[in-house]
Amino acid sequence: MAQLFVISAPSGTGKTSLINKVLHEELASKAKLGISCTTREKRKNEEEGIAYFFLTEEEFNKKIKEDGFLEYANVFGNLYGTPKDWVISTIAKGFDVILELDVQGALQVKNVYPDAKTIFIIPTSYKDLENRLVKRGLDSQETIEKRLSEAKQEIISGKDFDYLITNDDFDLAFLDLKYAMYSNANCKKEREELTKKSLSHLLDQ
């Protein structure tokens, strides 16, 4: 039976790269990355129904009233939401659906769709996360500090997800993610111990 996977992580932890690698695996040949609805303007290189379904604010609010989202949020003045009908119909056709969401969105989905498998990816330390954010060169120091502060709150919320994975090494984290998604079992013992240690360290900071 097809499944709904919800994957979350603090910004900079590497979840997008890990998800993209999983999508190229044979195991994920019948998996689709979730498509969000949004009220923001469509950019020239974007196509309807590829990454987004573009709605007017009126259409979006109508969908909210009709309970048409698994989760939704206002992000910098634009509305974003995961359409319930698309997810359910895609799963009914036999395709797994992978949603890449922030922690609050993931918790909303789990509340509405209890069978969803939630996976949270953590760094080994905040210093490691800071180094990743600096290395990718996308944010100012002020923004990096804000992301680190947000990460602490996200980890508090994400610690109770169905599966926790530590991205200390991309290839090993990828194997852990694939294992969590498709084996219905926890990671290998040494990887579990690493995650417990990393989580304890992060929660103590």
Are 39 and 60 in contact, with CB atoms under 8 Å apart?
A: yes
Every domain of the chain and the residues it spans: 4-204
Structure-token pair, residue 50:
């590829």
Are 81 and 87 in contact, with CB atoms under 8 Å apart?
A: no
Using the predicted structure, report yes or no on whether residue 137 has a pLDDT greater than 90.
no
Are 11 and 133 in contact, with CB atoms under 8 Å apart?
A: yes
Q: What percent of the chain has pLDDT over 90?
A: 74
Mean pLDDT of the chain: 92
How confident is the model at residue 57, as a pLDDT? 96
Rg (CA), the chain: 17
Using the predicted structure, report yes or no on whether residue 163 has a pLDDT greater than 90.
yes
Q: What is the pLDDT of residues 174-185, one digit of tens each?
A: 999 998 998 866
Are 33 and 100 in contact, with CB atoms under 8 Å apart?
A: yes
Q: What percent of the chain has pLDDT over 70?
A: 98
Using the predicted structure, report yes or no on whether residue 80 has a pLDDT greater than 90.
yes
- CA 74/CA 56 separation, integer angstroms: 14
How confident is the model at residue 184, as a pLDDT? 64
Beta bridge partners of 54: 38
Mean pLDDT of 57-70: 97
Using the predicted structure, report yes or no on whether residue 146 has a pLDDT greater than 80.
yes
Fold exhibited by the domain 4-204: Rossmann fold (3.40.50)
Are 12 and 129 in contact, with CB atoms under 8 Å apart?
A: yes
> What one-letter code names the amino acid at 77?
G
Using the predicted structure, report yes or no on whether residue 205 has a pLDDT greater than 90.
no
Higher pLDDT, 142 or 188: 142
- CA 151/CA 11 separation, integer angstroms: 7
